[in-house]
Amino acid sequence: MFTDELKKQADPIIEAIYNDDFIQGIIRGDINKDAIRHYLKADHLYLNEFAKIYSLLIAKLNDREGINFLLGQIDFVLNGEIAAHQTMADYVGEDYDVIIKDGEWYPSSDHYIKHMYYNAFRYDDASFTICAMAPCPYVYQQLALKIAARHELTGNPLKPWVDFYTVNMDELMNHLDRWVNNFAEQATEYERDILRRNFLESCVHERRFFNMAARQEEWIFHAENSTINSGN
Ligand SMILES: Cc1ncc(CN)c(N)n1
């Protein structure tokens, strides 16, 4: 299947994310609280845009099943995933609403969000955007499964965050796989290349997003050579 090929190509990127500072800090249970604050500020806004992009895709569909599926996902992203964020806010020891109130689209999350919007506006078929969005659940599911398989997290304050992504992603991933595979079957090789690239680029965006939080990346406009304070 086409999506099996994508997932195989994504695995080294996911393994690299696993070994980066953010996930290693989660595994140890002592991740820097500023990294978590930064992540929550960025992710709250990212998920809002993710829900809005789903709504753009609804306009491209004609089947009620697909529309209902996306409506369910909008609800999950806006109301379900809060539980994972709440675990992190509890770890920081501050009120969630206070933490997120001054978030922004920091450079790496900005790039990721615009990658998804580009596809939603550029292509009539929703599959191109779905390929750019699928790493969002997929990468977290794979990270959580790797962590759970390799570590005993009892007593780790971030264990509920890991548990959340081990159990909640299966149905969604099956649906997205079917969707992309159906489209890929009748797509041209040129279109399949775009699908592949969209998926892999978003896996790299996932890595950059965690590293953004680990380094508390910000836009810098005042420096002589305006740049961002992040590598990778
Ligand atoms: C950036 C990002 N990627 C993925 C997820 C998991 N849905 C998330 N909350 N944020």
Give residue 168's pLDDT band: very low, low, confident or very high (50, 70, 90): confident
pLDDT band at 229 (very low <50, low <70, confident <90, very high): low
Cα(221) to centroid(ligand 1), Å: 27
Residue 223 domain-assigned (yes or no): no
Ligand 1 center to residue 139 CA distance, Å? 8
Residues with a catalytic annotation lie at: 136, 206
In a domain, 98, yes or no: yes
Mean pLDDT over 117-122 rounds to: 98
Domain assignment of residue 81, yes or no: yes
Q: Is 222 part of a structural domain of the chain?
A: no
Looking from the CA of residue 140, the nearest atom of ligand 1 is 6
Whose alpha carbon is nearest atom 4 of ligand 1? Answer: 136
- 35, 106 contact by CB (below 8 A): no
Structural domain span for residue 189: 2-214
Alpha carbons 197 and 218: distance in angstroms, whole number: 27
Measured between alpha carbons, how far is 66 from 181 in angstroms, rounded to an integer? 15
Helix (H) or strand (E) holding 119: helix 107-122
pLDDT at position 208 over 60:
yes
Report the run of H or E that residue 158 belongs to, with start and end: none
The answer to whether the beta carbons of residues 137 and 173 sit under 8 Å apart is yes
Q: How many domains does the chain have?
A: 1
State the closest ligand 1 atom to the C-alpha of 136, by its place in the atom list counted from 1: 4
How many other CB atoms sit within 10 Å of the CB of residue 25?
Answer: 17
CATH number reported for the structural domain that contains residue 106 in this entry: 1.20.910.10
Mean of the pLDDT values across residues 127-136? 96
Q: For residue 112, which atom of ligand 1 is closest to its CA?
A: 1
Residue of 82, 138, 206, 217 best suited for mutating to test ligand 1, as the one with most atoms within 8 Å of CB: 206
Q: What is the pLDDT of residues 89-113, one digit of tens each?
A: 999 999 999 999 999 999 999 999 9
- pLDDT mean across residues, the chain: 94
pLDDT band, very low/low/confident/very high, at 232 (cuts 50, 70, 90): very low
pLDDT score for 14: 98
Span from the CA of 46 to the centroid of ligand 1 (angstroms): 8
Own/partner contacts of 173-180, CB < 8 Å, gap of 24 or more, are 173/134, 173/137, 173/138, 173/141, 175/69, 176/3, 176/130, 176/133, 176/134, 176/137, 176/138, 177/1, 177/3, 179/66, 179/126, 179/127, 179/130, 180/2, 180/3, 180/6, 180/127, 180/130, 180/131, 180/134
Q: Provide mean pLDDT across the span 156-171.
A: 92
Tell me: pLDDT of 225 over 90: no
140 CA distance to ligand 1 centroid (A)?
Answer: 7
Whether 151 is covered by a domain: the verdict is yes
pLDDT for the residue numbered 171: 84
Tens digits of per-residue pLDDT, 33-61?
A: 999 999 999 999 999 999 999 999 999 99
pTM score, whole prediction: 0.95
Rounded to an integer, what distance in angstroms lies between the CA atom of residue 129 and that of residue 120?
5
- pLDDT tens sequence across 57-92: 999 999 999 999 999 999 999 999 999 999 999 999
Spell out which residues line ligand 1, taking CB within 6 angstroms. Answer: 43, 46-47, 81, 136-137, 140, 206, 209
